[in-house]
Amino acid sequence: DAGITQSPRHKVTETGTPVTLRCHQTENHRYMYWYRQDPGHGLRLIHYSYGVKDTDKGEVSDGYSVSRSKTEDFLLTLESATSSQTSVYFCAITRGQGVYEQYFGPGTRLTVT
Amino acid sequence: AQKVTQAQTEISVVEKEDVTLDCVYETRDTTYYLFWYKQPPSGELVFLIRRNSFDEQNEISGRYSWNFQKSTSSFNFTITASQVVDSAVYFCALQGGSEKLVFGKGTKLTVNP
């Protein structure tokens, strides 16, 4: 158990509404990541953070923003949700700096109608 | 650019059969890390193994074994005497000189009783 929680676990929202997903960790890890998982695409990195207020883009960052105002929380925001953002979203952490395995949260299933 | 290819989209075997999941990767980095993750039907992502590019020794853990061959850029995963509980989607992933993991699209393994 990597001490990662995600909220909400399930959400249905309408096109055009803003949505914020939260990732919370209890072990003071520096690196945190947001991925989306879609059939036929595996997991794709959206954004990641290497410290408080330090974030960078992944391969599918368009339409998403992130914030990290404290070590334990990493927020993913969809400013104006679209149906193409219907997906399962996973948060992950690494336990050490640099190249270490990532441990994942339980996921959030988001449906945009 | 980094890329991971899992050519087998789905595999179906009968319990007790051996099965090998293929993973081929591309990277220009001389130092890199390879990973395997398991995603059972319940949806969580479970870390299985990490291997660095300097260590080509094969690894065995119970019924699981991994074969890393730099000459063919492959990191294959074999399950010996498969069991129904092995049914899952398995992901291979690569991390090179950055903090980002690149995942393959996954192989869905079904073990039938």
Which tens digit of pLDDT belongs to each residue from B37-78? 999 999 999 999 999 998 888 888 899 999 999 999 999 999
B33: which chain A residues are within 8 Å (Cβ-Cβ)? 99
Pairs of CB atoms within 8 A across A/B: 43
**pLDDT averaged over every residue in chain B:** 94
Q: How far apart are CA B53 and CA B32, in angstroms?
A: 5
- Among the listed residues B25, B31, B40, B64, the one whose alpha carbon sits nearest the alpha carbon of residue A104: B40
Test the A interface: residue of B21, B91, B99 with most A CBs within 10 Å: B99
The rounded distance, in Å, linking the Cα atoms of A61 and B15 is: 41
pLDDT tens per residue, range A11-67: 999 999 999 999 999 988 989 999 999 988 889 999 999 999 999 999 999 999 999
Residue A81: predicted pLDDT: 97
Cβ neighbours, 10 Å, residue A54:
11
Q: What is the pLDDT of residue B106?
A: 96
